[in-house]
């Protein structure tokens, strides 16, 4: 792979699952910012949010991806859903690789997250209302950050991966 692949998108859109499968298809490495941060923190993201707050978490996300800029090669990087909220982070992600937004509808997102207890931003209140508000705020952010948009609703992992492969080949990046 000539350029790294960066996956962005809302919580529950499948960045970690697609990223892992994509890395096997491309025979390349796979990293996930949430997993790396949990290792660094020595606790879950939910615990870290509770102890240090969201602002500190965002700082740590930026610190992590800064380390990848200019050093990461042959890797699929899955990112936390809020990472592109900082303009600075978007610049860094674009330096790291080709940015794909895994886009999922509000309905699909709610259906995927309804059993989830790991995401601090969705922990309290009505899930559908929260997803509606956050997605509304974030759609333009993902849109602006993405080099390519992959609509994921109704598609299998296989179809999503094929689409990303096709884009990478067409752009001469595979
Ligand atoms: C967040 C998304 C989560 C995680 C944290 C905050 C967000 O990652 O980074 O809970 O602000 O959207 P996933 O998108 O992998 O769930």
pLDDT in tens, 19-32: 999 999 999 999 99
| Atom from ligand 1 closest to the CA of residue 46 | 10
| Alpha carbons 164 and 169: distance in angstroms, whole number | 9
Q: How does pLDDT run across 83-128, given as a tens digit for each residue?
A: 999 999 999 999 999 999 999 999 999 999 998 889 999 988 899 9
Report the greatest alpha carbon distance in the chain.
Answer: 46
How much of the chain exceeds pLDDT 90, in percent? 93
CA of 170 to the centre of ligand 1 (A): 30
If you measure from the C-alpha of residue 12 to the centroid of ligand 1, how many angstroms do you get, rounded to a whole number?
Answer: 9
On whether the pTM is more than 0.85, the answer is: yes
Mark 130-140 as b/e (b = at least 16 C-beta within 10 Å).
Answer: bbeebbeebee
Question: How confident is the model at residue 50, as a pLDDT?
Answer: 95
> What pLDDT does residue 1 have?
83
- Class of residue 160 by CB neighbours under 10 A (exposed 0-12, middle 13-18, buried 19+): buried
From ligand 1's centre to the CA of 61, what distance in Å?
11
Mutate to test the pocket of ligand 1, among 19, 34, 109, 139 (most ligand atoms within 8 A of CB): 34
Mean pLDDT to the nearest integer, 44-55: 96
Closest ligand 1 atom to the C-alpha of 118? 10
Cβ–Cβ < 8 Å for 76, 22 = yes
- Rounded to 5 degrees, φ, ψ at 76 are -100, 125
């Amino acid at each position: 792979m000539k350029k790294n692949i960066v996956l962005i998108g809302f919580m529950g859109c499948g960045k970690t699952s697609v990223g892992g499968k994509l890395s096997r298809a491309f025979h390349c490495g796979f990293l996930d910012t949430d997993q790396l941060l949990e290792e660094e923190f020595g606790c879950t993201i939910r615990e870290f949010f509770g102890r240090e707050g969201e602002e500190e978490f965002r700082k740590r996300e930026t610190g992590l991806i800064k380390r990848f800029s200019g050093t990461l090669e042959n890797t699929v990087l899955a990112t936390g859903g809020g990472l592109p909220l900082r303009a600075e982070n978007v610049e860094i992600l674009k330096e790291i690789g080709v940015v794909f937004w895994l886009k999922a509808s509000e309905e699909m997102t709610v259906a995927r997250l309804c059993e989830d207890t790991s995401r601090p931003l969705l922990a309290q209140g009505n899930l559908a209302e929260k997803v509606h508000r956050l997605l509304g705020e974030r759609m333009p952010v993902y849109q602006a950050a993405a080099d390519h948009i992959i609509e994921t609703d109704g598609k299998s992992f296989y179809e999503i991966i094929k689409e990303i492969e096709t884009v990478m080949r067409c752009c001469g990046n595979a």
